[in-house]
Amino acid sequence: MQSDRKRWGMRRISLSLNLFTILVTVTTVVALTLAAYAHMEASRAAEKTASQLLSEVSDKTAGRVAAVLTPAVLVAELGAAVPTVDQPPGNQGILPIRRFMMSALDRAPEIYSTYVGFADGRFYQMIDLNEPTGRVRATHDAPEGARFIERSITGLDQNRRQNWAFLDATGRRIAFRVDETFSYDPRQRPWYGEALHRKGVIVTDLYVFSSLREPGITMAKALDPGPDGAPRGVFGVDITLGGLSRFLGRQSVSANARIAVFTPEGTVVATPDMERLLEKAQAAGAGMEPLLADETGDPVMGELFRAVTTMGGTVSRFTPPDGTPFLARAALVAVSEGRNLYIGVAAPMSDFTAYLDVMRRNSLLFALAVLILGIPLSYVISRRMSRALALLAEDADRIRGLDLEGRPRVRTFVREIHSLAEAMEAMKGSLRTFGLYVPKTLVRQIIAGRGAITLGGERRELSVLFSDVRDYTSLADTLAPEDLMRLTSTYFEQVTAAVVDHGGVVDKFIGDGSMAFWNAPQDQPDHPLYACLAALEIQDRIARFNRVLVAKGERPMPTRIGLHVGEAVVGNLGSSDRVSYSAVGATVNAAARMERVNKLYGTSLMISGTMAERVSSHLVVRLVDRFCPMALNTPVPLYLLEGPRPGLGLPGVALSEADRAWVARWNAVVEGLAEGPPARAVLEKVTILERERPGDVLARYYATQLAILGERTVPRDKAVPDWVVESETDLS
């Protein structure tokens, strides 16, 4: 039976843990179910959002590309059909089609320049200086106020020259310069030959304009042949794609998305990172060649081109060599007859799953919030019951150590636990009251022994203190009983505080007197010193207390104290239904007599010779006499306790060197009484000492008694003079 109880006792689980586990399990299941459902919904939402976003961006980009390219194609168509387009420039190099070109640049800001290349090598170009980056104006060092650059190449063969004219918005020339060293020939440019061999408007591959150092493309169309069928020239339109690339950079898809415009041959026409890619290609030696998708250094760009040329208008997937899945969508832009561009938008799945992760995190946060709300609620429900019991158990442990201060904050909705808390608080109040009647150290032992008390005691060395109020009877006659009770209680507060502060036990109060002892029930190796320090503190406390009483016009309560150390029996004294923890024996009686002997000499703090021997290394003691109390068979030395020696760190004010010297001289005089000197000789020494310390009651007492002896000598057989009383009845 006992082994079963032990086995089950090891498996015992607290009520709090049981309730908490059940409630947390239910809460967790509910929270995880909600999180899983939210994750599924987030997955669907992520795929739908990705498709919508890719479709929106690709369609928007296709529209933008068309908006950039369509005006250029239209200008190329119209420019080639202007009747005066083939008229050569005049002496000033001005072509009759100038006004058409200026108007086209005004109306189509995407166009960088319009020009005509003639079959005889002449060339006429109008350049727009309102390009938003200011690069054209800076490159050509255009003067302030210039709106257009009119560039013309005139003359034939060796007489060819290049003219640069800077025009304001009205076409008025404001600056002009001539360049006779140039190598440009429009007939050698790719757009010229391609336009002559194809019908309609041609669109070149992307290349870097030599004058601007910015990527762009050319739309060109051949002029109608002359009467002899020979080609007359080609009308061209240049557009830069920097603006288009910047537009692509503003399209928000995801953090790692790719967006680009491709030709059917795989040339990258525009991408947000176009300038860097071109600079990188040129640094690698590619020069002005078209930048292919596979040559960008970005493997995703090549895969995107291959994906957009094969997909329809729906969102599809592809995986580049690094294994990261991408979502992509393509859009087609018809630039001219037989000439199309592809718009490709792609983003890694992780970007959309990142959004999904946010949703998942939000759902987990929601689940966590449920747990955060649910777990504390579970904890509160379980702990409100168990915690209250735990607090009461902790309070019970403190009660076992007699720590009766404070009250645990037991908050519970369980009526029985609340009743238990109230009962324990009432028990603490009772124990506090019990501690006022019985030493707290003893109460701790009683609690530790589970209340078992046996009559009897043990013999051990004790330091015993007795105190008494001088003239208490006359004081009691002048006060009402209530006032006397209040005053006496306040007085005992001072005595008790000093005893407890130095580890003593207040045994009892006897009217106006008190008894205390040290070294029981717990061992105190230095108990004589602690007892003497307590006596000194009692003197100090009562002195301050009396000053307050005198200030109020009330009578003081001067106190006499006696101390002795020796063996006594300490333990439980009484009957089967009433017990007192106290000490008995000759040591206790001797301590009581020490206190009474103060009355004979007029002193206030008397200790026995035994006590003086134990504390003289720490405290200054003053020899009083040799006396034979009724409790002892032989005379014993009596001492006054003066105060602590300096340099030992003891509480209280240490005696000065002068006071210690005076006490030493006094002790020498009193010790000399044992040799039976003439009373007159001793009186002279005592008189000198009394003069040095006026008001010393013991010195005055000795002087009075020695004067009575007169010419007689002090008896040799005892240190006590003949003035000692025969009986102690006068000391009661």
Query: Which contacts qualify for 286-289: CB closer than 8 Å, 24 or more apart?
Result: 288/207, 288/208, 288/210, 289/207
Highest mean pLDDT among 13-22, 279-288, 644-653: 644-653
- What is the rounded distance in angstroms from the CA atom of residue 43 to the CA atom of residue 61? 27
Q: Which residues of 140-166 are buried (b: 16+ CB within 10 A; e: fewer)?
A: bebeeebbbbbbbbbeeeeebebbbbb
- pLDDT per residue over 332-389, tens digit each? 777 766 677 888 888 887 777 666 666 667 767 776 776 677 667 766 666 666 666 6
- Statement: residue 496 has pLDDT above 90: yes
Its pTM stands at 0.48
Least confident among 116-120, 654-658, 721-725: 721-725
pLDDT of residue 346: 82
Residue-wise pLDDT tens digits, 547-572: 999 999 999 999 999 999 999 998 88
More confident residue, 538 or 48: 538
Mean pLDDT of all residues in 86-91: 64
CATH code assigned to 61-350: 3.30.450.20
- Count helices and strands in the chain by DSSP H and E runs: 19, 22
Kindly report the CA angle at 348 between 346 and 350, in degrees rounded to 5? Answer: 155
The pLDDT, as a whole number, for residue 277 is 66
Burial of 275 (0-12, 13-18, 19+ CB in 10 A): middle
Query: Which range scores top for mean pLDDT: 44-48, 67-71, 165-169, 209-213?
Result: 165-169
Cα–Cα dist 242/209, whole Å: 12
DSSP 8-state assignment for residue 254: -
* pLDDT of the residue at 402: 59
Q: Is the pLDDT of residue 721 over 60?
A: no
Per-residue pLDDT, 465: 97
Residue range 563-588: average pLDDT? 84
Average pLDDT of the residues in 201-205: 82
Residue 580 phi/psi, 5° resolution?
Answer: -130, 135
Q: Which residue did the predictor score with more confidence, 275 or 350?
A: 350
Among 159-168, 190-199, 354-363, 606-615, the minimum mean pLDDT is found in 354-363
The predicted model gives 115-139 an average pLDDT of 86
Among residues of the chain, what percentage have pLDDT more than 70?
A: 73
Collapsing DSSP to helix, strand or coil, 214 comes out as coil
| 316/659: higher pLDDT | 659
- Give residue-wise pLDDT tens across range 681-690: 888 999 999 9
pLDDT band for position 17 (50/70/90)? low
* pLDDT range class, residue 8, cuts 50, 70, 90: very low
Distance of alpha carbon 172 from alpha carbon 159, whole angstroms: 26
**672 contact partners, CB below 8 Å, separation of at least 6:** 682
**pLDDT digit string, tens, across residues 483-492:** 899 999 999 9
Looking at the predicted structure, is the pLDDT value of residue 728 above 90?
A: no
Tokens of 643: 């105060």
- pLDDT tier at 179, thresholds 50, 70, 90: confident
Of 267-276, 443-452, 541-550, the range with the highest mean pLDDT is: 541-550
> Between residues 50 and 325, which one has the greater pLDDT?
325
The pLDDT score that the predictor gives to residue 394 is 66
pLDDT at 717 over 50: no
Q: Mean pLDDT of all residues in the chain?
A: 79
Torsion of CA 302, 305, 309, 310, to 10 degrees: 50
- Tell which wins on pLDDT, 578 or 127: 127
Q: Give the pLDDT confidence of 214-252 residue by residue, as tens digits.
A: 777 888 999 988 888 888 899 999 988 776 777 777 776
Question: Please, are residues 612 and 585 in contact by the beta-carbon 8 Å criterion?
Answer: no
Strand order in the sheet with 268-270: 268-270, 258-262, 339-348, 326-336, 316-318
Residue that wins the pLDDT comparison between 370 and 8: 370
655 phi/psi in degrees, rounded to 5: -70, 145
Distance CA 164, CA 92 (A): 11
Average pLDDT over residues 575-602: 85
Maximum mean pLDDT: which of 152-161, 259-268, 676-685: 676-685
- Residue 213 pLDDT > 50: yes
Neighbouring residues of 80: CB distance < 8 A, sequence distance ≥ 6: 221, 222, 223, 224, 234, 235
